[in-house]
Amino acid sequence: MSVDERKALVTSAPKQTWPEGRTDVLPTAEQVLAEERLAFTDRIIGLEQQVRELQQTPLATPSEAVAMESSYALLTSTTTWRAGRVVMLPVRVLRAVQRRVIR
């Protein structure tokens, strides 16, 4: 289906009005397809707008970023953190080897 045919399908006026409350009249397959495409297009436009909004807003202010970095530094300097890294070292090595072997 060409681009022009798709545009005509989506932008063309409906051949008949939708019956409200009548169960004996069903939409054609073409009408259902056109409505699904329109719904997908609306969803894509909405998601694009959400992406634009998220790109414009900073995730953290500079002072919040400094606070998070210092909190992370304090966490990683604890004995529990270092002991956990030593205990998990063989698992990390095995995972790295597994990734290289599989690829």
Domain count for the chain, please give it: 2
Longest dimension (CA), the chain: 73
CA dihedral in degrees (73, 77, 83, 87; nearest 10)? 30
3 three-class SS: helix
What is the Cα–Cα distance from 28 to 22, expressed in whole angstroms?
Answer: 15
Q: Are residues 78 and 48 in the same domain?
A: no
Average pLDDT for 59-86? 93
> In which residue are the tokens 């890294």 written?
85
Q: Are residues 8 and 43 in the same domain?
A: yes
Q: Are residues 46 and 74 in the same domain?
A: no
pLDDT reported for residue 84: 95
pLDDT reported for residue 102: 87
The reported pTM is 0.40
Range of the domain at 70: 62-102
Residue 27 has a CB neighbour count (10 Å cut-off) of: 14
- pLDDT 10s digits, 9-45: 665 555 555 666 666 678 888 989 999 999 999 999 9
